[in-house]
Each structure stands twice: as structure tokens, then as C-alpha cells.
Structure 1
Amino acid sequence: MMWQQFLMGILGLMAGFIIASGTVAFIISIGIVPRYAGITRTASRVRWYENCCILGAVAGNFVYLWQGHLPFGTFGLALYGLFAGIYLGSWVIALGEVVDIFAILCRRIGLTRGAPFIIICMAVGKTLGSLLYFYKGWAN
């Protein structure tokens, strides 16, 4: 009985590593990491960024499986929320760029100036919507 539980635990952990690896490979393949490295002019550190993505996915698996509480307090929660928001925003923008949604939208509505302003407004709207969602307690 204990041997079966141990085997199931190992298989579950391996499956989690596979899913996390696929997620990281997808993030890298859509170009989030190289785009950020190009914007920040740190292209020589792309491999380090990719390793951090993999480490973050593995650490996320362990934190998800661990049933305890992390002793980081309110500041740690706010910091985690900031980084999670940056991560989610990166996904939204990268996926939008992959399908060229912004270029198509700007061409269809005849927008020639102000595209960066529209993108910033979308990000601010998403942030304010998330804050309102959690402030009102709609998550419960």
C-alpha cells in the first residue's frame, strides 16, 4: 500500500515536470524571453532567462503541491501579485502579437497613431479590473 502511494507520488511529480516543461517551452517558443532580452539590451543573458523560467515552473509545482503556508506576509503576497501580474500580462501581449491582433485591429479601425497608448490603457484596465475583482470579494 505504501509502495503504491510512493509510486503514484513519483509519477505525479514527473507528470508535473512534463507539464511545466511544456509550458516553459511554449513561453520560450512564442518569443517572450527573446523579446524582453532585446528590449532590455541583455541578449547575452537569454540562456539565464530561460533557466529562470524553468526554475520558476519547477518551484511553482513544489509550492502548489506543498500544503503549508509560506511565511512571507502581506508584503510577500503583494510582491507575488506584482510578479504574477507581469507574467500574465506578458502572456496576453505575446499571444496577441503572435496572432497579430494589434496590427489587424489598428488596420481595421484606421488607427495610425496612438497604438502604444491603447496597449497601456488595456493593461491599466486589466489591472483595475483585477483589483476590483479581489477588493469586492468576487473570487469567493
Structure 2
Amino acid sequence: MLRELLAGIVGLCGGMVVATALAAFIIGLGMIPRYAGVTHTGNHLLFYENSLMLGSFLGNLFLLYRIHINLGIWCVALVGIGFGIFLGSWVIALGEVVNVFAIMARRVGLTKGAGLVILSIAVGKVLGSLVQFFC
């Protein structure tokens, strides 16, 4: 019994460390300050960062203890949209940090139509997500 309790505590602490490292990486990429700047809500920056940490912590608990909340299909759709926005923002922020688009455009000799390429990538990700979700 004590062994299982200790293993559970160690696992939970390890998950919290990983969730905290991910949140710190997201904050370090500058996603949250950029959103705060775009929405003119820079005075709530600490709230955004704390919300990210709380979400990481709660996500860890929900995954670990397999907590299910039955809120209906509309709530699932809203959460899915939120996850999609988060993942898309994550990909774009990471792409900006390593200048993927500038390097790709230079390598393939892209001089016109960069907006179309980015739009195509976004549409492809949406279609891929829908195929995975519905099939």
C-alpha cells in the first residue's frame, strides 16, 4: 500500500514538473505576451500565465485519475475549438521562433504567394483534424 502511494506521489510530482516546464516554454516563446499585446490586455498578463499553469496542473490530474465530465456535445465542441486554437497558436509561435517560413521561402525560391502557402498549411491542418476526428 505504501509503495503504491509513494509511486503515485512520485508520478504526480513528475507530471507537474513536465507540465510546468511546458508552461514555462510556452511563456518563454512569447505567446502569452503577444496575445496580451494584440488584445490590449497587458495588465492581465500574470492572470494569463497563472491560468496556463492551472490548466497544465488540472490537465495532469484529469489524465492521471481519468476524470470524465459529461457536459454535452456543445461543450465538447467549444473545448475542441479551444484546443485547436491553442495548438495552432503553438505551431505558429514555434514557427516564428525558428523562422521556418523565411528559411523555407528562401530554400524553395518563393517570391510571391507566401500568404497562400500559409493559408494552405492552415487548411490542410483543419482538414486533417476533421478527418481524424470523424473517421
The TM-score with structure 2 as length reference comes to: 0.88
Any idea what the Cα deviations from partners look like across 1:4-50, whole Å, max 9, x if unmatched?
11111111111111010000000011111111111112112111111
Alignment partner of 1:111 is 2:116: no
SS of corresponding position for 2:68: coil
Q: What is the correspondence of 1:1-140 to structure 2 with a 5 Å cutoff?
A: 2-108=1-107, 109-111=109-111, 115-136=114-135
Any idea what the Cα deviations from partners look like across 1:59-82, whole Å, max 9, x if unmatched?
100110122421112112111211
- Same amino acid, percent of matched pairs: 48
Any idea what the Cα deviations from partners look like across 1:79-102, whole Å, max 9, x if unmatched?
121111111111110110011112
Structure 1, unaligned stretches of length 5 or more?
A: none
SS of corresponding position for 2:69: coil
Q: State the Cα distance separating 1:131 from its structure 2 match.
A: 0.2
Structure 1 vs Structure 2 CA RMSD = 1.7
Q: State the Cα distance separating 1:51 from its structure 2 match.
A: 0.6
- Partners of 1:104 and 1:4 in 2: how far apart? 52
Relative distance call for 1:40 and 1:117 in structure 2 (3 A) is: farther
Letter in 2 for 1:99: V
Q: State the Cα distance separating 1:116 from its structure 2 match.
A: 4.2
Letter in 1 for 2:111: L
Letter in 1 for 2:10: L
- Partners of 2:122 and 2:83 in 1: how far apart? 14
The TM-score with structure 1 as length reference comes to: 0.86
- Partners of 1:106 and 1:45 in 2: how far apart? 36
- Partners of 1:9 and 1:104 in 2: how far apart? 45
